Amino acid sequence: MNQASSANRNTEQPPTVLRVDASARYEGSVSRTLSDSLMQSLREQYGKISTLYRDLAASPPDFVDEAWVAANFTPAESRTPEHRATLAASDALVAELQAADILVMGVPLYNFAIPATLKAWVDMVARARLTFQYTDDGVEGLLKGKRAYVVFVSGGVPAGSELDFATGYIRHVLGFIGITDVTIIAADQHNSRGEEALSEAYAQITALPVRPVVDMAAASLT
Ligand SMILES: Cc1cc2nc3c(=O)[nH]c(=O)nc-3n(C[C@H](O)[C@H](O)[C@H](O)COP(=O)(O)O)c2cc1C
C-alpha cells in the first residue's frame, strides 16, 4: 500500500486514487459497476494511477466507543500503548486518505442516508489535529489539494431532493476535512428509470474534464 503523503509526492508520479465502496452487495451493485467505470476513466486520463482500496462491506470500520473517544481526546504525545492500539485502525484509514490525491466513493442511498459502514468510516477519519483543526477563525480541514468523485445511487429518491440525506452530508463532511473539490455522479431513481439513470451517469463519467496532476500538487501547497 502506498502510504506516501500526497503533499510531498513528486508530480511526475501517477496520482494515487483511493476507492471506497459502501454497497453491501457485489452481485448487481450499481455503485460498484459505476465506480469500476470511473476508475477505468481515471486510468485512461492519467495513463497510470496508483490505487488504494477500502471495501467497507468486506471490512466494516469499528464504531466509535468509549475507549476510542478517550484515546482520541488524549494528546498524541501523552497516549499510552493501549491508546495507540485503540486508534490504530482509525490511523490506517486516515493514512490512506492522506496518501490519496483522488477519492472515488461508491455511495448507495440506504434509508434516506449513507450506509452505516460509511458513517463508521467517516467517524474514523474525522480526527481533530489530523484531518481537521480548530483555529481562531473556526474549523479548518487539513486534507487539502484533493479531489473527490462520489458515485451516488438510489432506488427511488431523487439526488439532491429533501429526502436525500446522503449527498449533502457527504459533500459537507468531505469539506469539513478539507476536501472541497467534490463531484457527485448520480444514477438516482434507479428503480423507475434504470437505463436512463445509468446512461446519464456514464455520460457524466465520460465527460469528466481531464485535469493535470500538477493542479492538485499546487493546490496541496496552498
Ligand atoms: C438497505 C437498503 C435501503 C435502501 N434505502 C433506500 C432509500 O431510502 N431510498 C432509495 O431511493 N433507495 C433505497 N435503496 C435502494 C438502493 O439505493 C439502490 O438499490 C442502489 O442501487 C443500491 O446500491 P448498489 O446497487 O450499489 O448496491 C435501499 C437499498 C437497500 C439495500
Give the mutation target among 19, 55, 111 for probing the ligand 1 site: most ligand atoms within 8 A of CB.
111
Give the residue-averaged pLDDT of 26-30.
Answer: 97
Give the residue-averaged pLDDT of 118-123.
Answer: 98
Q: What is the residue-averaged pLDDT of the chain?
A: 92
**Ligand 1 in contact with 23 (CB < 6 A)?**
yes
Q: Are 71 and 62 in contact (CB under 8 A)?
A: no
Q: Which residues have CB under 8 Å from 86's CB, separation 6+?
A: 67, 68, 70, 71
Residue 164 CA to ligand 1 centre (angstroms):
11
Give the mutation target among 110, 152, 170 for probing the ligand 1 site: most ligand atoms within 8 A of CB.
110
Residues 70-94: tens digit of each pLDDT: 999 999 999 999 999 999 999 999 9
Which amino acid appears at position 98 of this protein? Q
The pLDDT of residue 215 is 55
Map out the domains of the chain as residue ranges: 3-219
Domain 3-219: CATH superfamily, name plus number: Flavodoxin domain (3.40.50.360)
Give the residue-averaged pLDDT of 202-222.
Answer: 70
Residues 143-157: tens digit of each pLDDT: 999 999 999 999 999
pTM for the predicted model, two decimal places: 0.92
The pLDDT of residue 115 is 98
Query: In 3D, which of 115, 107, 114 has the Cα closest to residue 31?
Result: 107
The pLDDT of residue 211 is 76
The pLDDT of residue 1 is 35
